[in-house]
Each structure stands twice: as C-alpha cells, then as structure tokens.
Chain A
Amino acid sequence: MAQTAGLIQKLSVIPLSNTSLACFWVGPHPTSTELFFILRPGSDSASFGAFKNSMVDALTAAYVTRQEVTLSHGDGSAEIDSLRLEPS
C-alpha cells in the first residue's frame, strides 16, 4: 500500500449512471500534482458506497480549509482506498 501526502489543488465530482467518480489533484503546489480518484461502481454495497462518499466529502472540506491529507492507494494505482487528516 502506497501513501501520498499533500494539499488538494483541485477536485471534481462526476455522478454517472453506471460508475460515479471523484477526482483529486494532490501536490505541494498547483503545477506539481498527482491525480487520484474515488470510484463508486454499482457493485459497491450501500455501506461501502456511503463510506466512499464520506471520503469525497472529507476531501472537499480539506480542500476549502487548506488541510493537508494523506491518501492511501495501491502501488501503481491512483484509486484512493483510505485517507488520513491530522489536526492543524
């Protein structure tokens, strides 16, 4: 499991009928970012899907409050599995 930490520089939420998506650009400054995403396929259970949307909401709040985030994702994958925030 890899981790990436930094500031969210941009985010996008895309509801779709089959698989919905939220994208997050994370890095120390706007021209140095990596793209990560949270996928919501229809096969997710309701509870797991709610958890994922809760992460999207937390990342949205982290962006507007300039909070650093630490994302966990698979090696070689940009899909966010979990996230961590620390008090500032």
Chain B
Amino acid sequence: MPITTGFIQRLTYLARIVCVEVGPDPNTTELFFTEFATGDAEQELGMKKSLARLLFEALANGFPIRISHGVSSAEINSAAIGGFDISPIGHAVRNDAYTISGSGIPDDVEVVFENEFTITTVTPDLVRPHWVMLAELPGSVSTGRNAVRLQAPSFSSDEVPIDVVSGPPIRCRVLYPGAPKPDPYTIAVIANPMLELEFRNRFSSDPIMTDRDGFFARVPYVLNNLLNVTEDLLRQDDIDSLMRFVAVFDGVLLDSNDANSLVRLNPPNLIGPRKASFSSFLGRYSEKADVAFAVSGSSTHTRASANLTTDDTTAASTTYTYDSDGFEHPHFYDEPGVATLSLFGVTTGLTPLHEFGHAASAWPTGAVLDLYVDGGPTSGALIVNEKWRANASDSIPSVFGTYDGTSYNSDQARDSLSYPSNWRSYHPELIDPNRPNLMDNYWLAPPGTSQQCRLDKLTYDWFSDRLRAKLFR
C-alpha cells in the first residue's frame, strides 16, 4: 500500500469530503481525501472525524503527515504523524529551561533553532545520550514556528516543528519523563519559596524567588554533578534513562507559610531541609520524588545538608544480606530523601552528589554517612559505609564486611588522608584509592580533582542494587 509523506498545504471541508493537499509547497501537491459517506458505519464515521482532527493538527502545527492510500486511489486509508528521532519535551518558552530527548546523542551536540528569519545554535548545559537540557531557551530564538534539531560533527537529527512562545514560564517543568510508568524513580530540583528562620515558625521569602535565571543555571550544575562526573553510580548502564527529572520554580507562591517552606535556616550557616513539607509541595504539581533538592538563595546560610529517605517497609522489596544479617531494599518510600543546596555553592566540588548519597540512602534501613567525622555506632540502624572499632588503638580489620555474599576489604589508610589517631571508625576499600571517598572530605583531593572522587566498593554495589530495586519497581 503506497504511503505519501509531506506537509499539508491546504485542508478543505466540502460536501461530506475532507480534502488535504500534501506536498513540499502549495504549488506542488497531491490531493487526498476522506469521505463521510452515507453508508459508513457509525464507528467508521467516528474515526474519520478523528482522522480529520489529526489532519487539522498536522496542518496547524506544521507536522509532516504520512498518508496511506490505495495504489491508484486518493482516498486516505490511514494517516500518521510523529516518528521523529528526537522529542522536544514540554512547551518551548523563551528564557525558560528546555529539554529534548533522543538516543545516541554525542557529548559535542548542539541544539539548532531555525525559522525563515533566524538560525540560533545553542550548546546544551547538560548532555546525556538520551536527552539534552538548555538552562534557558535563548531570547534570540524567534517566537512562533521554528524547527529544532540536534547536530554534531558525527550526528544529525530530524527537524521537529515547535512553537516558541515568550511566556509564561512553566512552574513545574518535566526535564525528562523517565520510565513510562506512573511511579518512575524521580529526582526533583526545587526553588525554595520560603525560608523558615532560625526562630521557629517565622517565614520569609527565599531570595532565590527573585532569581529564576540563577535557579535554572544551577539545575544543570546539579544534574551534571549527579550524572556526568567520574563517579558513575547514577549513569552506569544508562540507568538514568529510566529516571524522571523535574524542576520547579513557582513564582506565584507568595504566602509566608509552612507549606511553602522547604528550607530551615540553622545556626551557624546551615540550610536544613524541612523533610515533611516536600511530598505535599510536589503533590501540588502532581509530582512525586524519591529524592528532592531544594535550592536556596539565602546569602547568610549557604551550607548544604540532607535528610535520609524514610523507606516504606510494608511494600515490595528486594532482599539482601549484609554480613550475616538479612535486610531489604524497599521499592517505595514513605517520605523522600531530601537535600538543600545553596545558589551560591562552589561548583567545583561534589556537593549535589554527596548530598544525594545521604538523601537516597535511608534511615534506619540503610544509611550512608559522612566519613569526615568519627561518629559512632547506632543501634537499630544499618550503617552501610562505616564501622567502628572497640578502641581507636585496635588495628583495622582487613575485611570490612560482606554484602550479598561478596567480601569487601577495609580502607586501611583512608586513602591519602589517614585516620586520626583518636578515631574508632573505619571505611570500606575505595574504588579509587588515590582520592578521598565521595562521602569523605573530597575537597582534600589533589587540586582540581575533587570531581574525580568516587565511592568505596561496597557502598557502590549496595547503592547500585538499591537504585535498581527502586528503578524496576
């Protein structure tokens, strides 16, 4: 059955017949039609009505159409739109974030917007093989109909029609939709509307709410930290293609109340997550997150922090053993893992990924703790990445522990940092013994290499399994 593909140049309703003229320009077309015939079955008439709607949408939005018809007939048997090799996500709004999904996208890709007047080429702020992000769709892109494509020296995508508008910006933008199911593993980055002041139950507007551009410049930094530094926990085997990413900047949340506050200012300069507020906040936008970051623009309190996930231990889970005991990776959560980030945080380190390491772990069902403090054992909670000797003078055991039947050695030297003589804690063997653990003081890595720090071997394997248990729930 022949198929004709092209743009609809004219759509005509005339005497029970809907006609389309398809071709590259108005003077070079072929005519096709569908007839609402008196003998047609009711269901066929209904679908012809939907077919006419499809033809109209293709015309109105500039999509090429594929029409299937008889060998010597102009009557439309079926019509289809879509099938491009890239997929713009959400509305294209100037000066707002913009994302496009695809496959096999190379690191050196550029995004090209083109219409009859202008061509604007933009280097994305985040590139993964399956999506790219622009922190801001440039104001130089003309409003109205454009064609967008991805291009690189060794890569070229289809051109997809989009309608660019000047506003309003999207309050909750889906950056990448994730696995096609209602509850994909989701990471949210939120501009915090209100700060809870050090004196409890007093709120004031977070300065970030006057800096939308700053927030959306920070989002790709956060995502690059999670997905594109040396530690590949979240991108191994492209598992991030199953994760959903959303960003929220809601400039109309002006009420100074508890529900609009995700960050509490704690002395001396800590921005603490108000964990109980995150789920209901995201619920306003019909979103849920396994891990959520709140970004604050406080100029006085800038130190990031995290609060661990509270797992749902009553729902489905994946079992494992840690040393000789049985544990579970719960597939769902009661409360998400949450973290705060400062708009002014230094971007050469690993703060987002480090805080993710805390937030995505769980208390008490599997906690990943800071390794730059000695701390101490906690009864009733599984600490994954740290153990303690009875006395600081005791030697560090050669074997740290066993995870799911695999034995893991201890880090005898705490890489180049060494354990202070009064510490009782010790850690699992590092993946990269030349740099501090991602959960340790990564700022002490050789200059300029903090973003090369990785996890220890045991925590990496434990976290990989935990993420997979949730990704495939």
What residues of chain A have their CB less than 8 Å away from a CB belonging to chain B? 3-23, 25-34, 40-42, 44, 46, 49-50, 52-53, 56-57, 60-61, 63-66, 68, 70, 86, 88
Contact = CB atoms under 8 A, between A and B. Distances in A.
Contact of B87 (A9, A11, A61): A9
B57 A64 contact: yes
Contacts of A40: 43-44, 46-47
Nearest to B172: A88
A56 B50 contact: yes
B180 A27 contact: yes
Nearest to B34: A15
8 contacts: A7-B177, A28-B87, A28-B101, A53-B47, A56-B50, A64-B60, A88-B91, A88-B170
B82 A8 contact: yes
Contact of A60 (B46, B57, B131): B57
B89 interface: yes
Interface in B96-118: 101-103
A30 B91 contact: no
Given A9-B84, A64-B61, 13 more contacts: A4-B182, A9-B83, A10-B80, A11-B80, A12-B80, A13-B54, A30-B83, A31-B85, A32-B103, A40-B43, A53-B47, A60-B53, A64-B58
Interface string B8-50: 0000000000000000000000000010000011111011111
A26 B87 CA distance: 11
B361 to A, nearest CB: 26
Chain A facing B: main interface SS? strand
Nearest to B76: A15
B86 interface: yes
Q: State the 10 A-B residue pairs at the shortest beta-carbon distance, nearest first.
A: A10-B82, A20-B47, A29-B101, A12-B80, A6-B180, A14-B78, A15-B47, A56-B50, A40-B43, A10-B83
Contacts of B130: 28-29, 32
A54 to B, nearest CB: 9
Contacts, number: 158
B83 A34 contact: no
Chain B facing A: main interface SS? mixed
A63 B176 contact: no
Contacts of B388: none
B77 A11 contact: no
Nearest to A70: B182
A64 B43 contact: no
Contacts of A6: 177, 180
Contacts of A60: 50, 53-54, 57
Interface of B: 34, 40-44, 46-51, 53-54, 57-58, 60-61, 63, 77-91, 101-103, 130-131, 162, 170, 172-174, 176-182, 184, 241, 285-286
B43 A32 contact: no
A71 B40 CA distance: 29
A11 B170 contact: no
A57 B47 CA distance: 10
Nearest to A86: B286
Contacts of A41: 43
Contact of A29 (B51, B77, B87): B87
A38 to B, nearest CB: 9
A16 B34 CA distance: 12
Contacts of B84: 9, 30
Given A40-B47, A70-B182, A88-B170, A7 B83 contact: no
A41 B171 CA distance: 41
Given A3-B181, A13-B79, A32 B241 contact: yes
A6 B179 CA distance: 8
A17 B41 CA distance: 7
Contact of A7 (B47, B78, B87): B87
A34 B34 CA distance: 29
A64 B59 CA distance: 11
Nearest to B286: A86
A33 B130 CA distance: 13
Contacts of A52: 46
Contact of B79 (A12, A33, A50): A12
